[in-house]
């Protein structure tokens, strides 16, 4: 089904949320991804990915505490749902299967 397809970026976002566990909100996710992938991602791109994941039912969110540096605005914390975990598992198993089928792994000389 097209609706449950997990894009590469979306997969990274899901994994990052799991990594961050209790502390997964906008800025922390953004920072974590930047740190891991060594590439600057915009809040806009992240927003789109989060919205899509939410639409698919892979994540849920709740409002958390506000801080002064946020201008008194609350954070929205994200959590991966069971559906999201399943989707991740499935993506991983497909990959593993493919990896296992490769006869020789290693960088080949020209």
Partner 1 sequence: MRKRNQPPLILKRFFEWFCNEEYFEELQGDLEEKFHQRTQSIGIRRARLAYGKEVMKLFRPSVFKRIKFKYSNNTAMFRNYTLVAYRNLLRNKLFSVINIIGLAISMAVGLIAIAFVSEIYSYDNFHENSNRIYRVTTDLHRNNGETSEYATASVFAGRRLATDFAGFEAVAPITKGLSSNIKKGESTISVQGIYADNSFFKVLTFPFLSGNPETALNEPNSIVLTESTARKLFSKTDVVGETLQWRKDSPVKVTGVLKDPPKNSHIRFDAIGSLETLDDRNSSSVNDFGVIWSSYVYVLLPEQHDMEQIQANLNQLAKEENPKLKYWQFSMGLEKLSDIFPGNGRYNQFGTVMPKKKVRSMIILALIVLFSACFNYTNLSLARSIKRAKEIGVRKVVGASKTHLFMQFILEAVLVSILALVLSYWLFQLIKPEFLSLDFYIQRTTTLDLSASVYLYFLLFAVVIGFLAGLFPSLLMTKFRPVNILKGAVSVKTSKGLSARQVLVCIQFALSMGFATLVTMAYKQYQYALNFDLGFSTENVLNVDMQSNDPEILKTEFLAIPEVSGVSSSSILPSTGSSMSNYVKHKDPQDSVNAFTLDIGPDYLNNMGHQLVAGPGFEEADLSNKAIVNQMFLKKIGINTPEEAIGEQVSFFQKNWTIVGVIKDFHHGTINDPIEAFVFTTGRQDHYHINVKLSTNDIVGTMSKLDEAWQKVDPVKPFSAKFYDELIQDTYSDISASLKTFGLLSGIAICISILGLLGMAVYTAESRIKELAIRKVLGATITNLLMLLGKNFMIIFLLSASVAIPLAYYVYQKTIVSDAVYQISVGFWELANGALLIIVIAILTICSQTLRAARTNPAENLRNE
Is 42 in contact with 94 (CB distance < 8 Å)? no
**Site stretch for partner 1 (CB under 8 A), options 6-14, 15-23, 73-81, 89-97:** 73-81
Strand, coil or helix: 62? strand
> What are the E-state strand segments in the chain?
59-66, 74-80
Query: What part of residues 21-40 is at the interface with partner 1 (CB under 8 A)?
Result: 25-27, 30-31
Nearer to partner 1, 35 or 104 (CB): 35
CA distance 1 to 9: 18
Residue 70 within binding range of partner 1, rule CB under 8 A = yes
Site residues for partner 1 per CB under 8 A: 25-27, 30-31, 42-45, 47-48, 51, 66-67, 69-71, 73-76
């Amino acid at each position: 089904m097209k609706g449950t397809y997990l894009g590469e970026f979306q997969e990274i976002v899901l994994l990052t949320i799991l990594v961050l566990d209790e502390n997964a909100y906008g800025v922390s996710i953004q920072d974590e991804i930047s740190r891991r992938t060594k590439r600057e991602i915009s809040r806009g791109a992240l927003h789109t990915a989060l919205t899509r994941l939410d639409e698919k039912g892979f994540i849920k969110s709740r409002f958390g505490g506000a801080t002064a540096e946020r201008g008194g605005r609350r954070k929205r914390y994200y959590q991966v749902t069971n559906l999201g975990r399943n989707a991740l598992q499935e993506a991983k198993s497909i990959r593993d299967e493919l990896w296992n089928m490769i006869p020789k792994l290693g960088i080949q000389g020209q």
